[in-house]
Amino acid sequence: MHAVLLGAHLPVAVPEPLGVGEPGDGYPGPWTAYQFIAGQTAQPDRIADLDVFAGDLAEVVAALRGIDTDGRVWSGSGRGGRLATEDTDVRAALAVSGALTDTAALTEVWERCRDASRDDPADVWIHGDLMPGNLLVRDGRLAAVIDLGAVGVGDPAVDLMPAWNLLDAGSRETYRRALGVDDATWERGRGWALAQAINALPYYVQSNPVMAGIARHTLRAVLD
């Protein structure tokens, strides 16, 4: 449903479902087949110009926000509610990450971001998981946004995470300007990026160096 809804509004491709299958002898659960989208997952050396990329991604996020929510609000699960709902998990991850990152500095940033106000009560459509692995690049430009499993309605700050998990300082500001983000929303976005990264770092540090590397990049960026 989300792919059909979003595909009609976004300026880049999203996964298009081709068929849905029921559990059977060959596979015990429901499954979906999607159309293949050519491209590579986003990383700086695959992006021709980070400022242009930031503008392209901002167009996607702005288009998402422009879709009518029809009165929907955050569902109560996943990203999209008050950032304070992440406090217990973030503090637990910080407690086991002292040998991996500057947890004292990150705690100060987290508390500031967690308490950033939200004056606008309106929820918007969000992707919810704009990680580099969910952004496809072709010929140096943003070509597609994939993995719609976290799509829903919630705090617009959630989709600011790429500012820290992928972009550099200059393109980060380009992204912010393109979306017209106020100070409080920007701080909440920083907090969402921190929350994702500090949970990922200790979890992936031994098993997945790519994800751990993204987490380290993010945590350095949120301290800038």
Domains of the chain (ranges, CATH numbers): 40-222 (3.90.1200.10)
| Cα separations in angstroms, 82 against 15, 74, 88, 89 | 29, 10, 13, 14
Q: In DSSP terms, which residues pair with 31 in a beta bridge?
A: 21
Q: Give the confidence band of 152 by pLDDT, cuts at 50, 70, 90.
A: very high
Mean pLDDT score of the chain, rounded to an integer? 95
Question: Crossing angle for the helix pair 87-95 and 103-114, nearest 10 degrees?
Answer: 170
The conformation of residue 11, written as its DSSP 8-state character, comes to S
Backbone angles phi, psi at 199, to 5 degrees: -75, -35
Q: What is the pLDDT of residue 196?
A: 98
**Cα–Cα distance, 46 to 139 (Å, whole number):** 8
**Cα–Cα distance, 109 to 126 (Å, whole number):** 24
What are the structure tokens assigned to 55, written together? 């503008």
- The answer, yes or no, to whether residue 5 has pLDDT greater than 80, is no
What's the pTM?
Answer: 0.93
- The answer, yes or no, to whether residue 1 has pLDDT greater than 60, is no
Q: Give the confidence band of 4 by pLDDT, cuts at 50, 70, 90.
A: low
Which contiguous run of DSSP H or E holds residue 40? strand 40-41
Q: Which residues of 27-41 are buried (b: 16+ CB within 10 A; e: fewer)?
A: eeeeeeeeeebebee
Q: Which residues are CB-contacts of 65 (< 8 A; sequence separation ≥ 6)?
A: 124, 125, 126, 156
- The answer, yes or no, to whether residue 204 has pLDDT greater than 70, is yes
- The answer, yes or no, to whether residue 214 has pLDDT greater than 80, is yes
- The answer, yes or no, to whether residue 223 has pLDDT greater than 70, is yes
**pLDDT tens digits along 14-72:** 998 899 999 999 899 999 899 999 999 999 999 999 999 999 999 999 999 999 999 99
Side by side, the strands of the sheet bearing 135-138 are 40-41, 135-138, 141-145
